[in-house]
């Protein structure tokens, strides 16, 4: 079956969901009271699960191969998101802070090397970069078609 990369990524999530449902059925219905009829055909479900897992592997391989030309952008996007979290998480307390003082005497005076404005500017710069990369990836995903083997 031929799909755009965007649709293949969505389809991959659906296949993973199907596997999760089969997993739940097998795990919850495998053991039954002796002599009672099982609600599910466990052997058939195990075979279905194996087919779904193999299909998911084929799908992931096809997506990975299609992503080869943009893998650097994918990694750049991921790391840029991590960098935004880093800049947003920096403690930028600067000056006297009575709210963090628990002892007697003078309240401590904090000195931040990186101030909030600098941290915010770095995060904003990265968020702009993220938006640009994401737009490029979205375009690639909508314009790239891959061939996925049919589910057995």
Is 125 contained in some domain? yes
pLDDT grade, residue 46 (50/70/90)? Answer: very high
Average pLDDT of span 84-96: 94
- Return the closest-CA partner of residue 7 out of 149, 105, 148, 125: 148
Q: Which residues contact residue 39 at a Cβ distance below 8 angstroms, ignoring those fewer than 6 apart?
A: 29, 32
Boundaries of domain holding 90: 2-30+40-99+115-147
CA 77, chain centre distance (Å): 12
* Contact yes or no for 124/84 (Cβ under 8 A): no
Sign for the pseudo-dihedral over CA of 49, 50, 53, 58: negative
Stretch 10-33: mean pLDDT: 96
- Count of the separate structural domains present in the chain: 1
Evaluate whether residue 83 is within a structural domain. Answer: yes
Is 57 or 150 the better-scoring residue by pLDDT? 57
Write out pLDDT tens, residues 93-139.
Answer: 998 876 655 666 677 889 999 999 999 999 999 999 999 999 999 99
Considering the domain boundaries, does residue 20 fall inside one? yes
Q: Round the CA-based radius of gyration of the chain to a whole number and report it.
A: 26
Asked if the structure places residue 67 within a domain, the reply is yes
- How far apart CA 78 and CA 72 sit, in angstroms, is 10
| Residue 68 domain-assigned (yes or no) | yes
Q: Tell me how crowded residue 119 is: count the other CB atoms within 10 A of its CB.
A: 18
How far the first Cα of the chain sits from its last, in Å, is: 12
Q: pLDDT value at position 108?
A: 82
Residue 58 lies inside a defined structural domain of this protein: yes
Assess contact for 144 and 115: CB atoms under 8 A.
Answer: no
On whether residue 104 sits in a domain, the answer given is no
pLDDT of residue 55: 97
Mean pLDDT estimate for the chain: 93
Q: Which helix (H) or strand (E) holds 32?
A: none
Quick one: which H or E segment has residue 145? strand 145-147
Cβ–Cβ < 8 Å for 38, 25:
no
């Amino acid at each position: 079956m031929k799909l755009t990369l965007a649709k293949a990524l969505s389809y991959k999530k659906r296949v993973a969901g199907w596997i999760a449902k089969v997993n739940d059925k097998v795990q919850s219905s495998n053991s039954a009271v002796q002599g009672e009829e099982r609600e599910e055909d466990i052997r058939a479900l195990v075979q279905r699960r194996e087919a779904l897992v193999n299909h998911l592997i084929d799908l992931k391989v096809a997506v990975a191969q299609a992503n080869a030309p943009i893998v650097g952008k994918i990694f750049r996007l991921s790391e840029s998101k991590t960098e935004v979290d880093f800049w947003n998480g920096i403690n930028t307390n600067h000056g006297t802070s009575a709210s963090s003082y628990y002892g007697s005497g003078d309240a401590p005076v904090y000195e931040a090397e990186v101030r909030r404005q600098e941290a915010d500017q770095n995060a904003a710069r990265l968020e702009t970069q993220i938006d640009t990369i994401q737009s490029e990836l979205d375009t690639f995903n909508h314009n790239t078609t891959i061939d996925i083997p049919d589910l057995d």
